[in-house]
Structure 1
Amino acid sequence: MTMNFNNRDPVYVQVVRHFKEQIATGSLEPGEEIPSRRELANRLKINPNTAQRAYKEMEEQGLIYTERNNPSKITKDEKTLGSVREELIIEAVDSFVSSIRPINVPLDEIVGLIKETYNKEGDKHD
């Protein structure tokens, strides 16, 4: 597991987002065990307290659960899992709209450019 951290957002927030992306793409399956807090801190070269804070946040959001002394696991709750994907899509769209709105590009043109770019990117991954 590797991550490139930015300087804008707290590291624990970036760790949570990384897990959300892994869940949304299916790289992490419902019920799958995740590394211990200490192991994650070692892998990512972050402070163990930061890893602990990320796990606490994910537990509060219902993304992971921990039973007694067993390893933490990705939730099996389908509603939560579905909302993760939707949340990431909405964040991306909001960010895009905020950055493009000042340019006053007509919506039809934006949609055309998005389709074109999306299809090009899809061709690269095939």
Structure 2
Amino acid sequence: MNVKFNNRDPVYLQVIRNFKEKIANGELVPGDEIPSRRELANMLKINPNTAQRAYKEMEEQGLIHTEKNHPSKITSDIKILGMVREELLVEAVDTFVASVRSINVPVDELLNLVKTKYAGNNDDKGA
């Protein structure tokens, strides 16, 4: 597990986001075991209390569950897993909209550019 930490967000939130991204892209699937808190802290070179806080938050959100003396696992709750993907998508769109709103680009032009960029056609850089 490799996480590039930034200096503006709390580390435990960045750890949670990394898990959510791995769930959303299918790298982690329902029932997958995840490293122990101590293993995660060692892997990421973070304070064990930070790893504990991230896991506690993920358990409260229903992303993971831990049974006594067993490794933590990714939830099998399809509703929660679907919400993870939607949450990340809404967050990305909100950030994008906030960054382009000041340019006053017509929505149709903006959507066409997004479709072009998303499809991987970067030949039309001016549109």
TM-score by structure 1 length? 0.94
Q: CA RMSD in A?
A: 0.8
Alpha-carbon displacement from aligned partner over 1:60-80 (angstroms, at most 9, x marks no partner)? 000000001100000000000
Map 1:8-27 → 2, pairs under 5 A: 8-27=8-27
Q: Does 1:60 align with 2:60?
A: yes
Q: Does 1:78 align with 2:78?
A: yes
Matched residue count: 121
Aligned mates of 2:103, 2:61 — CA distance in 1: 36
Aligned to 2:29: 29
Aligned mates of 1:105, 1:8 — CA distance in 2: 29
Aligned to 2:125: none
Gaps of 5+ in 1: 122-126
Aligned mates of 1:27, 1:14 — CA distance in 2: 17
Aligned to 1:43: 43
Aligned to 1:124: none
Aligned mates of 1:82, 1:2 — CA distance in 2: 24
3-state DSSP of counterpart to 2:111: helix
Task: Report the structure, 1 or 2, having the larger helix content.
Answer: 1
Aligned mates of 1:24, 1:2 — CA distance in 2: 16
3-state DSSP of counterpart to 1:46: coil
TM-score by structure 2 length? 0.94
Gaps of 5+ in 2: 122-127
Aligned mates of 1:25, 1:79 — CA distance in 2: 16
Q: Does 1:88 align with 2:94?
A: no
3-state DSSP of counterpart to 2:120: helix
- Percent of pairs identical after alignment? 71
Runs (4 or more) in structure 1 with deviation over 6 Å come to none
Aligned mates of 1:79, 1:116 — CA distance in 2: 31
